[in-house]
A and B are shown apart, each in its own frame.
Chain A
Amino acid sequence: MIDETVGAPVIMAARDLRVSYPVADGKVSVLDGFSIYIREREVVGLIGDAGSGKSTAALALMGVVRPPGQIEAGSVKLGDEELLAADEDRLREIRGKDIGLIVQNPCAALNPMLKVGRQIGNVFRAHSDASKADANERAVEMLRMVGINDPEQRVSAFAHELSGGMAQRALISMALSSEPRLLIADEPTSGLDVTIQAQFLDQMWETVRCTGSAILLISQDLGVIANYCDRVAVLHRGRIVEEKPVYEFFAHPEHPYSRDVLGLQKAATAGRPHGYDLSAERPRIEVKGLRKVFSMRGTNVVVEAIKGADFVIRSRETLGLVGESGSGKTTVGRCLLRLEEPTAGEVYFGGEAITGCPAASLRGLRSKMQIVFQDPFDALNPRWTIRRILREPLDLHSDLSAKAKDVRISELLDLVGLKTDRIDQKPRSLGAAALQRLNIARAIATEPKFIVLDEPTSALAPHAITGIIALLHRLQAEFGLSYLFISHDLTTARSLCHRVAVMYLGEIVEMGDAEQIFENPQHDYSKMLLSAYLYPDPTKRRERAKIERTA
């Protein structure tokens, strides 16, 4: 399968790696027969489901295993040197110098007690005899290279003073400071906004092309893979099951798993089937002049989270609310349900005013309007069983008998595609995707007419996302639900929404049919947002990346 003879020299080659973790009865192999190779100047994408061993592979390539795991067999060669045979001192030298690692969650990966410049300098000093002053100079230089404005000032910033994007760039400059031959990036952009993600990936791509090193890019996001990789390797159950140039992979996936992933992705990006005419439907939610101002505790500082929003959601309609973090999308959703008290403006539900209605009647209305949150585990009481979680809304809003409630609970589980065998267990026994289904089941328990979906898919793997989207489609068709779908993920927004509102700094800058917004955005911000969007198709690479590539 692996052809090491063509093209540029191979920087790293791993063969038949096996990494195992002890479990209660024996051990489980996370990687089993894992082989991969990376050539000079090459960007290799590694994709795979959650739990397929991607992060374990990233670490194992540096000769590291999270305890109590163990590398049991195989070889990792950096050039001609066998890493698994090297001693700890030599490995320490290689890590950071020859192989750089960028991990998820940039803010947590920086030491909060040290200035950023010092941290970058430390990596550099660990591998050379440079003085402190030299290291500092080097740090400034690195920060400038990764495109941070005013690097002389930023070297003395602490991690919390940087935004997510800047922290991520500080990390990449740390990883690049000693010019490693290979950069391993493990989901480097998860949790970043699309515009920052694009900037960052462009930067990383450019840097590596200039210095002649290589990248192993681990991601679940096919958009990232399609736009930046030369070659794709698919990791499934601890081994590489398919490995191809990126164009070929997207055109002719072979392994059933790859086909599955690409097929689902294709279905998701196709947009929702058209031919719906919702103009005749009655408005279900009406929002007029909604404003929300937060005042910081103990200060006079006020933040205008929503500067004024007006929109209508009809019956059976999904309105998408897209924008970057901090744009006020979530606050809109919360104000609609009065989980947050709006500062000004009116919200009507089926003609009935929600704003200003007394607490008692609001509690009654709650059965008609529900919300699904971003973090599926956090939204469920960890001490309650699944049965009790689903019974709560029935206890509050129905007068069914205990027996009828049990019937309804199994019916709900069935509706969202969950089996009833774990009904008396706690939520932690389920995976993220199943938990989100459970959250949806709870939301529809009282047969609501309107559901706020607050980033319901952003904590999930691509595979799970498509399942949830399909479920939401089905429930909408079956019960005539209206959704407000809040998301920074444009792919899912496109697949679910009839209409889309683009939000920027507390204002809705553009609103229109999904098709129109995605194909022909009018507002400058919408255009920028969409230009940063990475299509999961290598033939539709972003313009900027395409130009650089041909250059």
Chain B
Amino acid sequence: MTQSETVARPIEIKIAKSRHRIDWLFWLGVSIVAMACSLAVFGPAIAPYDPTLAVHPPAVPPPPLAEVPGLWWGRITGVIDTPPYWFGTDANGFDVFSRVISAPRIDLTIALTANALSLILGVFVGLVAGYYRNFLTEGVMRVSDVLQSFPVFVSAMILVALAGRSTGNIVIALALLYTPIYIRLTRSEVLTQRVRGYVEAARAMGNREIVIALRHVLPNSLAPALIQASVTIGFAILLTAGLSFVGAGVRPPTPEWGLMISTGANQIILGEWWPSVFPGIAISITVFGFAVLGNALERRYD
């Protein structure tokens, strides 16, 4: 602490309060993420209608807010036989509500798989590049620099356009684009950890270098990448939706938020806001949840 800092600091600061806020945000993030994940598992099963069948009357608006409790009560007590279109139906006759809660399956699968792939690859390459510093690993870093210097969205678009619009290709494109982030994060942490005393001690103990790298350095270098993962998952969801929006994502009629916004956008000018707005809100909440969780984790680790 510098002298001027000491002098300038006010005598009382209520630390307890800010601590409390961190916890509150952490749990908010956890619950949003948990919600999204359970929808990914059960969404299509609990959806009132098949999300891929366009068999409903087109462009039915959602029920007015005032009627919602009544309709809901009616459903529970069994007075109303057919489930109402909670979020209305779109121009093609899809039930928007069913599609919104079914979409996490595809969106989260893409985001999580892409992230898991890039996390594993990035951490491994970062560990090697940070621990064994030679011209080869320097070369790897320059390649990752080049990868990182492309605009993510444009690159993803081109990759998918070249390889074809399939879920697998989207996952691979995203994984490729996110790997450099994890490489860089892990490498920088490895660089600080590899000169720590415990690494030296492990070497003096007679461990092999590979054992030191995997058992000592790796576990101590994971935190930044894991924290980043939460935030990146949110961005990956956004990117998946964005790709669908410009027509480079999954094919219709797959329920996917970006695709729904895209198809609904044409009708917004006619006053049909609901096919686009509800999936938009869903994306915002989910991305927000992952971002908040990531921030809270970061502060916890500090």
> Which A residues form the contact surface with B (CB < 8 A)?
22, 59, 62-68, 70-71, 88, 92, 95-96, 101, 103, 108-111, 171, 174-175, 337, 339, 362-367, 369-371, 373-375, 378-383, 392-393, 396-397, 439, 442
Please give me the 9 A-B residue pairs with the lowest Cβ-Cβ distance, nearest first.
A366-B206, A379-B197, A378-B197, A67-B13, A363-B206, A381-B198, A68-B15, A373-B197, A371-B204
B3, A366: Cβ atoms under 8 Å? no
A396, B200: Cβ atoms under 8 Å? no
Q: Which of B11, B204, B205 contacts A64 (CB 8 A)?
A: B11
Say yes or no: is B16 at the interface (Cβ < 8 Å to chain A). yes
B6, A59: Cβ atoms under 8 Å? yes
B15, A373: Cβ atoms under 8 Å? no
Q: A96-B7, A103-B1, A339-B203 are in contact. Are A381 and B216 (CB under 8 A)?
A: yes
A380, B201: Cβ atoms under 8 Å? yes
B205, A393: Cβ atoms under 8 Å? yes
B206, A339: Cβ atoms under 8 Å? no
Min CB–CB distance B59 → chain A (angstroms): 58
User: Which residues on A sit within 8 Å (CB–CB) of B21?
Assistant: none
User: Which residues on B sit within 8 Å (CB–CB) of A92?
Assistant: 7
CA distance A381 to B207 in the complex (A): 14
Beta-carbon contacts under 8 Å, B172-224 to A: 196-198, 200-208, 216, 219-220
Say yes or no: is B9 at the interface (Cβ < 8 Å to chain A). yes
Q: Which of B2, B197, B203, B220 contacts A383 (CB 8 A)?
A: B220
Which residue of B has the minimal Cβ distance to A364? B206
What 15 new A-B contacts, CB under 8 Å, besides A67-B10, A96-B7, A371-B204?
A68-B14, A92-B7, A96-B3, A101-B3, A101-B6, A109-B2, A110-B2, A111-B4, A366-B204, A367-B206, A373-B200, A378-B198, A379-B200, A381-B220, A392-B205
CA distance A366 to B212 in the complex (A): 15
A103, B204: Cβ atoms under 8 Å? no
Question: C-beta contact mask, B11-39 vs A, less than 8 Å → 1, else 0?
Answer: 11111100000000000000000000000
Min CB–CB distance A17 → chain B (angstroms): 14
Min CB–CB distance B297 → chain A (angstroms): 17
29 contacts between A and B (CB under 8 A): A62-B6, A64-B11, A65-B11, A66-B9, A68-B14, A88-B10, A92-B7, A95-B7, A96-B7, A103-B1, A103-B6, A110-B2, A337-B204, A339-B203, A362-B206, A363-B208, A366-B206, A367-B206, A371-B200, A371-B204, A373-B197, A373-B200, A375-B197, A379-B201, A381-B202, A381-B220, A383-B219, A393-B205, A442-B201
User: Which residues on A sit within 8 Å (CB–CB) of B9?
Assistant: 64, 66-67
B7, A64: Cβ atoms under 8 Å? yes
CA distance A100 to B206 in the complex (A): 51
CA distance A96 to B208 in the complex (A): 55
Min CB–CB distance B158 → chain A (angstroms): 37
User: Which residues on B sit within 8 Å (CB–CB) of A70?
Assistant: 11-12
CA distance A362 to B13 in the complex (A): 55
B206, A379: Cβ atoms under 8 Å? no
A71, B11: Cβ atoms under 8 Å? yes
CA distance A489 to B15 in the complex (A): 40
User: Which residues on B sit within 8 Å (CB–CB) of A339?
Assistant: 200, 203-204
User: Which residues on B sit within 8 Å (CB–CB) of A59?
Assistant: 6
CA distance A111 to B1 in the complex (A): 10
Q: A67-B13, A71-B11, A339-B200 are in contact. Are A174 and B205 (CB under 8 A)?
A: no
Which residue of A has the minimal Cβ distance to B204? A371
CA distance A378 to B2 in the complex (A): 24
CA distance A500 to B179 in the complex (A): 54
Q: Which of A68, A367, A392 contacts B13 (CB 8 A)?
A: A68
CA distance A378 to B12 in the complex (A): 33
User: Which residues on B sit within 8 Å (CB–CB) of A96?
Assistant: 3, 7
CA distance A228 to B169 in the complex (A): 75
User: Which residues on A sit within 8 Å (CB–CB) of B201?
Assistant: 371, 373, 379-380, 439, 442
Min CB–CB distance B65 → chain A (angstroms): 46
Q: Which of B12, B13, B198, B202 contacts A382 (CB 8 A)?
A: B198
Of B10, B196, B202, B204, which is in contact with the most chain A CB atoms at under 10 Å from its CB?
B204
Q: Is the contact region of chain A dominated by helix, strand, or loop, or is it mixed?
A: mixed
Q: A64-B6, A379-B197 are in contact. Are A397 and B206 (CB under 8 A)?
A: yes
Q: Which of A66, A109, A392 contacts B3 (CB 8 A)?
A: A109
Min CB–CB distance A507 → chain B (angstroms): 25
Which residue of A has the minimal Cβ distance to B2? A109
Which residue of B has the minimal Cβ distance to A112? B2
Which residue of A has the minimal Cβ distance to B133? A297
Question: C-beta contact mask, B140-157 vs A, less than 8 Å → 1, else 0?
Answer: 000000000000000000
Min CB–CB distance B3 → chain A (angstroms): 6
Min CB–CB distance A423 → chain B (angstroms): 18
CA distance A446 to B205 in the complex (A): 9
CA distance A551 to B202 in the complex (A): 56
User: Which residues on B sit within 8 Å (CB–CB) of A364?
Assistant: 206
B11, A392: Cβ atoms under 8 Å? no
CA distance A382 to B223 in the complex (A): 13
B207, A382: Cβ atoms under 8 Å? no
Min CB–CB distance A216 → chain B (angstroms): 15
User: Which residues on A sit within 8 Å (CB–CB) of B208?
Assistant: 363
B197, A111: Cβ atoms under 8 Å? no
User: Which residues on B sit within 8 Å (CB–CB) of A381?
Assistant: 198, 202, 216, 220
CA distance A406 to B84 in the complex (A): 66
Min CB–CB distance A25 → chain B (angstroms): 13
CA distance A431 to B286 in the complex (A): 44
Of B7, B207, B208, which is in contact with the most chain A CB atoms at under 10 Å from its CB?
B7
B2, A108: Cβ atoms under 8 Å? yes
User: Which residues on B sit within 8 Å (CB–CB) of A68?
Assistant: 12-16
B7, A379: Cβ atoms under 8 Å? no
Of B4, B10, B219, B220, which is in contact with the most chain A CB atoms at under 10 Å from its CB?
B4
B198, A379: Cβ atoms under 8 Å? yes
CA distance A65 to B220 in the complex (A): 34
Which residue of B has the minimal Cβ distance to A108? B2
User: Which residues on A sit within 8 Å (CB–CB) of B11?
Assistant: 63-65, 67, 70-71
User: Which residues on A sit within 8 Å (CB–CB) of B206?
Assistant: 362-367, 393, 396-397
Min CB–CB distance B216 → chain A (angstroms): 6
Q: A67-B15, A68-B12, A111-B2 are in contact. Are A392 and B202 (CB under 8 A)?
A: yes
CA distance A214 to B16 in the complex (A): 39
A370, B7: Cβ atoms under 8 Å? no
Min CB–CB distance A384 → chain B (angstroms): 8
CA distance A283 to B197 in the complex (A): 29
B197, A174: Cβ atoms under 8 Å? no
CA distance A247 to B196 in the complex (A): 44
Which residue of B has the minimal Cβ distance to A65? B11
CA distance A236 to B9 in the complex (A): 27
Min CB–CB distance B137 → chain A (angstroms): 15
Min CB–CB distance A159 → chain B (angstroms): 10
Min CB–CB distance B189 → chain A (angstroms): 13
User: Which residues on B sit within 8 Å (CB–CB) of A101?
Assistant: 3, 6
User: Which residues on B sit within 8 Å (CB–CB) of A442?
Assistant: 201, 205
CA distance A442 to B204 in the complex (A): 11
CA distance A237 to B12 in the complex (A): 23
User: Which residues on B sit within 8 Å (CB–CB) of A362?
Assistant: 206
Which residue of A has the minimal Cβ distance to B13? A67
Of A67, A70, A339, which is in contact with the most chain B CB atoms at under 10 Å from its CB?
A67
Min CB–CB distance A111 → chain B (angstroms): 6
